[in-house]
Amino acid sequence: MTNFALDAYLRRIGHRGPVASDLATLAALHAAHVAAIPFEGLDPFLRRPVNLDLAAIEAKLVGGRRGGYCFEQNALFKAALEAIGFRTVGLAARPRWNAAPDAPLGPKTHMLLSVETPEGARLADVGYGACLSETPFEFAVGKEQTTPSGVFRLSQSEGLFRLEARRGEGWRTLYAFDLAPQLPADYALASWFTSTHPAAAHVVNLVLERLEAGCRHKIVNRRYWTEGRDGIVESQRGIDNGADLARLLDEVFDVTPPAPAEEIFARTTE
């Protein structure tokens, strides 16, 4: 990773302290990343190609005023961590956030990371746009892990880990995964499916999310809302028109869209 522009990345996420391959650095960068670089699926939604070449990701997410989805976000985070000296393994997960509990498992269309620290391996994920976390997790099955935005836990069954978030009186599964390392070709195929299939979530829905100081900002199509701890909705409203969407993109998500906001709004549904 000698060609990775680490200083530019650290400036982009607003990290000004020292860095080392330790848990404190991993936690600080994880929180800073999700606050500074929003999850956004504008390119798939606009039927624009998603380039997973690292130079293209750096140009978009670091050099440009853009975010991205999981393959871009976690590839960037992986490169930054490796430039610091961390050992990382890229993993893949099967999203479950919108699936019924008894629905069959879907394809591996999410990227996440296993990161080695002196305190042991941690699950790092700065790119799950349904429920971002600001904190890397221990690989400790059954242990409730508290973050500023809520409580999470790992469960395990049928050879798979499941990351779950507490919602109200119950738990909701983010995704299921194993520890099999993934190749860049695996991510290229999954990203192509995710960004081009006519029924893929980010092709048919406008989705953005940003997480800072325990407050979760979300857009899905023509609805904007904020959440507090454990997903409790604190405010919500409709998005009235392209000008309204443009203000949210600029002032809340810190994104300059690749197309006029009016065009993006016109593609959305209620």
Cα 261 from Cα 87, distance rounded (Å): 40
**Alpha-carbon gap, residue 231 to 226, rounded angstroms:** 9
**110 catalytic per annotation:** yes
Instruction: Indicate the SS3 state at residue 226.
Output: strand
Active-site option among 15, 33, 110, 217: 110
Pull the structure tokens for residue 126: 């700065």
Query: Which residue out of 33, 125, 202, 217 is catalytically annotated?
Result: 125
Which of 241, 267, 253 minimizes the C-alpha distance to 132? 253
SS3 at position 209: strand
Beta bridge partners of 113: 90, 124
Query: Which of the following is catalytic: 15, 30, 43, 70?
Result: 70
Please report where in the chains the tokens 């991205």 appear, as a residue: 68
Active site residue 131: no
Catalytic annotation, residues: 70, 110, 125
